[in-house]
Chain A
Amino acid sequence: DSGVTQTPKHLITATGQRVTLRCSPRSGDLSVYWYQQSLDQGLQFLIQYYNGEERAKGNILERFSAQQFPDLHSELNLSSLELGDSALYFCASSVGGGPTDTQYFGPGTRLTVL
């Protein structure tokens, strides 16, 4: 158990809908990261927050947004969902958010768009 929690574990929804994925980092970690894992794209970095502020951005679609709240939990919002958004979404956290820091991954949320 990494100490990172993600909810829900599974999510099934329809095209065009909007969903919210939630992540609670390990106690004491200030940085949160979101990754998408799909069969065709592999594991891709989406976005990083550090202590409530956006720190780095990857290949995140404009239909996707995220935020980190004062209690350090984070939410990833996915809207106007398409079939291709079906994937496993991982959250990770680290203490400081630097390039040598170890990122601890949660168990993931599996999103299925029908």
Chain B
Amino acid sequence: GDSVTQMEGPVTLSEEAFLTINCTYTATGYPSLFWYVQYPGEGLQLLLKATKADDKGSNKGFEATYRKETTSFHLEKGSVQVSDSAVYFCALSPGANSKLTFGKGITLSVRP
């Protein structure tokens, strides 16, 4: 079945550091890929998405490119802020329906 694998966490960075969070997936067909963020005590918010190969999603300085050849959707940000501290989830929805399959999530802490 479909699955999403995220790198192990947690991750702790200093403010203005470069961020990469790895995400790889297994799916049949042509899934859509998403990054969601969960701030403490809140629900999930969509950060960015890409719906076909080579698409780049971007939002709030975060970027991720849909790489079909490596089945990856790594999240990057050039300069993190303390306010980026949250849990980040990579997810996919298969081509046939919209049920999201999530990775385990990774906690990012950014220190001043």
Contact = CB atoms under 8 A, between A and B. Distances in A.
Interface of A: 2, 4, 31, 33, 35, 42-45, 48, 55-56, 58, 90, 92, 94, 97-108
Chain B interface: which size bin? 20 to 34
A45 B43 contact: no
B43 A31 contact: no
Contacts of A106: 43
Contact of B98 (A35, A43, A103, A107): A103
Interface in B1-57: 31-32, 36, 42-46, 49, 51
26 contacts: A2-B43, A31-B98, A33-B100, A35-B100, A42-B102, A42-B103, A43-B102, A44-B102, A45-B100, A56-B97, A58-B99, A90-B43, A90-B44, A92-B44, A98-B98, A99-B31, A99-B93, A99-B95, A100-B93, A101-B98, A102-B49, A103-B98, A103-B100, A104-B46, A107-B42, A108-B43
Contact of B43 (A42, A55, A101, A107): A107
Contacts of A107: 42-43
Given A100-B93, A102-B49, A105-B44, A33 B99 contact: yes
A17 to B, nearest CB: 25
A4 B36 CA distance: 16
Interface of B: 31-32, 36, 42-46, 49, 51, 89, 93-105
A90 B103 CA distance: 16
A102 B43 contact: no
Nearest to A31: B98
A48 B98 CA distance: 9
- List the 8 shortest-distance A-B pairs measured between CB atoms, nearest first: A105-B43, A43-B102, A105-B44, A45-B99, A99-B93, A100-B51, A107-B43, A99-B98
Nearest to B43: A105
A51 to B, nearest CB: 14
A100 B99 contact: no
A103 B46 contact: yes
Most buried by B among A42, A97, A106: A42
